[in-house]
Every structure is written in C-alpha cells, then in structure tokens.
Amino acid sequence: MRFIFMGNHTVGVFVIKALIQERTLIGIVAHPRDLEDGVKYESVYDFGIKNKIPTVRGTPKDEHVLDFLFKNKPDMIWVADYKFILPKEIIIIPKYGAINFHPSLLPHYRGRAPLNWAMINGEKYTGLTVHMIDEGIDSGDIIHQEKIEISKEDYIGDILEKIYPLYYDISLLVLNAIRSGRFKTKKQTKSSDKIYKARKPKDGLITDEIEDEGILRLIKAVSRPYPGAYFEYDDKKIIIWKGYIKMFKSKEESNFGRVLENKDGIIKIKINHNYLISHDWEIVFKNETFKELLFKNKDFYNQRVSKHGYSHLSLNWGSQKNQITRFEILSQIGNLENKNILDFGCGIGDLFYWFINNGINTNYEGIDLSSEMIKLAKKRFPTVKFKCQNLMESPLNKKYDYILASGVFTYSNNGFFQKCLELLYSKCNKGIAFNLLADIEKYKNETTQMEFLSNPDDILKFCKSLSPKVILKNDYHYRDFSIYMYKDENIN
C-alpha cells in the first residue's frame, strides 16, 4: 500500500520511521513553519527532507497540499499531531481512508491537549488511540488502543517519555494488521460529548479558586516542556516547575500566594489550606519582555544554525526562493551601488551573497543576535564585517545610507518592533527597508502563536509618524509585505 503522512512533532517522526521501515511512505505533509519546530521537538519537515522523501509544508486548505495529495494518490493517509481538521475532500482521497493517532483513551478526552487535561482532572490512566478519521472530532472507529498509567509521581514530561515510543510500536502493529489482512475497527462507545479545548500559557495561572490538590495536578500537567503553572504578582510571576504540598500548621493568617520563605533555593508559598514547597521554580519579571524575546530568538537561531549550517533552513525560511524574493524587494528601496549598507539580522550573510551574485557593489556590514550565525558568516566571508550585537543593549555607533531587515520581526511583538524601528531609523541617512507577516484572517491557520502578525495599515500609520515618505509593497507574496521608509521625501 501507498501511504502519505500528515503531521508534526517528535511523535510524527516516530510514525514516519515505522512507515519507512515498511517502505510504504510516498510523501509527507508537515505543518507550516513554527518557531519550536526542530528546537523543542523533532521536525517532521526536516526529517522528510533529510531522508529524501517528497515533503511539503501546509494546511488542508492550501492548493499545493491538495495537489500533492491528488497527484500521489495514497491508499491511506496517516496523521499524528496535525493541528488542522481534515475536510471531507481530503478524507475521501485515499482508497482506504485516513487514520489518526490521538493521545487519550477514546472516546474520553476528544479534542486538544488530552494528556494535560487528563492530568489536571486527576485521571489514573491515559493512553494512545489509533482511529479512523471521519468528519467529527476524534470520533472515528477505533483501530487500536494502548493504556499507560499516570502515577502520583509523574509530571507531564514523564508521561511524554512513556507515550512517545508507543507511536512507533503501534504503527508497526497497524502495518502488520494491514499486511496480514487482520485490519479491524470497532465503534467508539458512547461517552460525554465534551470536546476539550486547546490550552494557552495564561491557563497555567494558579488562583485560590483551585483546590490545593488541583493546584499540584496543574503544576504537574503543564510543567516542562510546557509553559508552566504560575503565581502572578504586580511586577512578576513565579513559575513552579516541580513541587509538593505540606500541611499548614501556623496559626498566622496568610494570604493566598504569599511567599512565606525563600531559602537555599527552596520556596514556600501559602495556598488555600497548605504550603506549596518547590525546589524547582523560576521568577519572570514582566518588564523583561524584550530581554526574554531577544533571548528566545538568540537561542532559537543558534540551535537552527548548529543543526542546518549553511542553509536557508538555519534562518527558518520556508524555501530559498522565498528568501531571495524578499531580498529582491528590499533592495528596490533605492540605488544601493557603493552605498553604506547595514544588514540588520544578517544571519549567515545570505543578503551579501545575493548582492555579489547580482553585481551590486556595496559597503556592507551585518549584525545579528546569534553568535553561531555570525561565526558561520565570518567563516564564509572572512573579509566582510560581521558583528554579534544586541541593538537594545548596544546601540549602533554610526550611521548607514540604507538599513535592510529581512525576516527580523517574524518572532517578535508590536512593542519590540516599534522600539527597534525607531532606533534603526535614527541611524540611516537615506532609508530603511523591512518586511513583516500580514495579519490576514484567511491565512491565520498557517501561523503559530509565536509569529508576529501585523496590519499593513497600522504599520503604515506608525511609519508615517517617523518618516516623510513611506512606501508599501504587498504584491510579491500572499502573507508578506515590505515597507520603505525614507529620510527625505525626494529620495527615490
């Protein structure tokens, strides 16, 4: 049989490895680009490319995904950790339908984040179910189920370690059943119609509305690798990664959430009727948003370049073609020949390489947060000036004719973008060109929560408050737009 895999994450790689072993996999549809892809978990897309399997990124609504499926005509589609619901037009493509791996004991915990919800609700067991995909949500006939225990000592990381290998083992069982003609399904038994919703970082807030044992379950359910459960204070929040409850014996009245003791790395916090004790906790200050954002970007790209080296994948570009298109658009801001150019967020020097290939002679300099990228850029072009620099902590000490910034603001926020743009604009003599992802409703399902989406009209308004001449370019990519800001309205 011919199979196509659709999905994401480390669990997706486990399933793909089983399919490869059987030599039955003819293609992969991976998620759209994601900041955590290949960093916090294994990348299905990267695995497919590395193993020379025909692989595309996209959502079920993308024409290129539909074309890919119709062209390859799979006998069956396998799905694991694909956050998009497959429409009927895709379900009917394969001769034998589509199957999904769902991390719960269906029919219980249909929907999103089933492992987290099971732990929050105090379940003693969870598991992995393989089921046929129908037009409902996790409601198709069951092919196979495996149960795993949730012990009192388990945190979510422990459950993940238990369940990950099951994706591979169960894949082999299902493949063997198909090969031997023993492939059978059974109807799901009736259960609650409840479909669980996705969880967000803010859902980890610990309040006095949660009973004490529930607080401990929440901590365990959203600990690493998830965002964590936390107490919120005026200027900070305290994330509790691990903890335990101790009986409250003091006669002194204390408010919920009060830190009673912080000694030798162990913190004691008053909850409803007990103490919460933790030796693994973290303080995050709310006014350090920029610092946290910069650190996450730096860490993300350092890991990408360590993994991919001299490749557009190090920059997390979907394709080299898209990267080049953006270079072409930004370079149209003006005549760059023999001008002093700053490549802000230069990565491994791809823009300089593009200048060389297109015969554009510039006095080029590049800066980037990622030390690993700068190392590669210097090795690639030893005579070019590259520097590892954090603009927020170490301002530019000179001015440039033009400043170009491609893909720099993909993983940021509006406050960071505006502050950064003000600093850059003050350091250009002629103009600055940058690009952003557009906030377009029909394409929101292609983005991650971490990507910064912006309204072109809002960006234009802000830019015009700084510059006498602003030009918008939005005719080269369906999700992307570029802005030219000039120092003089007569510059062209």
Task: Give the whole-number percent of the chain exceeding pLDDT 90.
Answer: 64
Residue 444's pLDDT band, with cuts at 50, 70 and 90, is very low
Task: Point out the domain boundary residue: 152, 173, 193.
Answer: 193
Task: Work out the average pLDDT over 458-476.
Answer: 93
Question: Considering only 55-64, 220-229, 405-414, which range has the smallest mean pLDDT?
Answer: 405-414
**Interacting residues of 229 by C-beta distance below 8 A, sequence separation 6+:** 204, 205, 206, 215, 218, 219, 221, 222, 223, 239, 240
pLDDT digits (tens, 9 = 90+) for 161-189: 999 999 999 999 999 999 888 889 999 98
Whether residue 79 is predicted with pLDDT greater than 50 in this model: the reply is yes
Residue 103's pLDDT band, with cuts at 50, 70 and 90, is very high
Residue 491: inside a domain: no
Within this chain, do residues 103 and 130 fall inside the same structural domain, yes or no?
yes
Residue 298: inside a domain: no
Task: Work out the average pLDDT over 290-318.
Answer: 68
Q: Of 373 and 172, which is predicted with more confidence? A: 172
* CA 207/CA 221 separation, integer angstroms: 16
Question: Considering only 10-24, 188-202, 377-391, which range has the smallest mean pLDDT?
Answer: 188-202
Within this chain, do residues 177 and 32 fall inside the same structural domain, yes or no?
yes
Task: Point out the domain boundary residue: 129, 163, 193.
Answer: 193
Domain around 27 = 3-193
pLDDT at position 265 = 79
pLDDT winner (highest mean) among 19-23, 303-307, 461-465: 461-465
* CA 215/CA 224 separation, integer angstroms: 16
Mean pLDDT for the chain overall? 88
Within this chain, do residues 254 and 280 fall inside the same structural domain, yes or no?
yes
Residue 299: inside a domain: no
pLDDT digits (tens, 9 = 90+) for 387-403: 988 887 677 889 999 99
Indicate which CATH number applies to the domain containing 478.
3.40.50.150
* CA 347/CA 357 separation, integer angstroms: 18
Within this chain, do residues 344 and 428 fall inside the same structural domain, yes or no?
yes
pLDDT at position 213 = 96
Within this chain, do residues 135 and 24 fall inside the same structural domain, yes or no?
yes
Within this chain, do residues 243 and 187 fall inside the same structural domain, yes or no?
no
Question: Considering only 199-203, 250-254, 437-441, which range has the smallest mean pLDDT?
Answer: 250-254
pTM of the model: 0.63
Within this chain, do residues 471 and 395 fall inside the same structural domain, yes or no?
yes
Residue 236's pLDDT band, with cuts at 50, 70 and 90, is confident
pLDDT at position 443 = 45
Q: Of 314 and 236, which is predicted with more confidence? A: 236
Within this chain, do residues 356 and 263 fall inside the same structural domain, yes or no?
no
Whether residue 108 is predicted with pLDDT greater than 60 in this model: the reply is yes
Within this chain, do residues 129 and 40 fall inside the same structural domain, yes or no?
yes
Task: Work out the average pLDDT over 345-362.
Answer: 94
Within this chain, do residues 356 and 209 fall inside the same structural domain, yes or no?
no
Indicate which CATH number applies to the domain containing 94.
3.40.50.170
pLDDT at position 293 = 64
pLDDT at position 448 = 43
Question: Considering only 50-64, 125-139, 150-164, 181-195, which range has the smallest mean pLDDT?
Answer: 181-195
Whether residue 263 is predicted with pLDDT greater than 90 in this model: the reply is no
Task: Point out the domain boundary residue: 193, 212, 239.
Answer: 193
Based on the structure, what is the number of domains in the chain? 3
pLDDT at position 476 = 86
Question: Considering only 195-204, 223-232, 262-271, 327-336, which range has the smallest mean pLDDT?
Answer: 262-271
pLDDT at position 245 = 93
Residue 109: inside a domain: yes
pLDDT at position 252 = 57
pLDDT at position 449 = 44
pLDDT at position 194 = 87
Task: Work out the average pLDDT over 344-348.
Answer: 91
Whether residue 284 is predicted with pLDDT greater than 80 in this model: the reply is no
Residue 146: inside a domain: yes
Whether residue 282 is predicted with pLDDT greater than 70 in this model: the reply is yes
Whether residue 377 is predicted with pLDDT greater than 80 in this model: the reply is yes
Residue 208: inside a domain: yes
Whether residue 381 is predicted with pLDDT greater than 90 in this model: the reply is yes
Task: Work out the average pLDDT over 451-473.
Answer: 91
Task: Give the whole-number percent of the chain exceeding pLDDT 70.
Answer: 89
Q: Of 287 and 160, which is predicted with more confidence? A: 160
pLDDT winner (highest mean) among 3-7, 22-26, 318-322, 411-415: 3-7
Residue 302: inside a domain: no
Task: Work out the average pLDDT over 450-473.
Answer: 89
Within this chain, do residues 472 and 328 fall inside the same structural domain, yes or no?
yes
Residue 142: inside a domain: yes
Within this chain, do residues 386 and 408 fall inside the same structural domain, yes or no?
yes
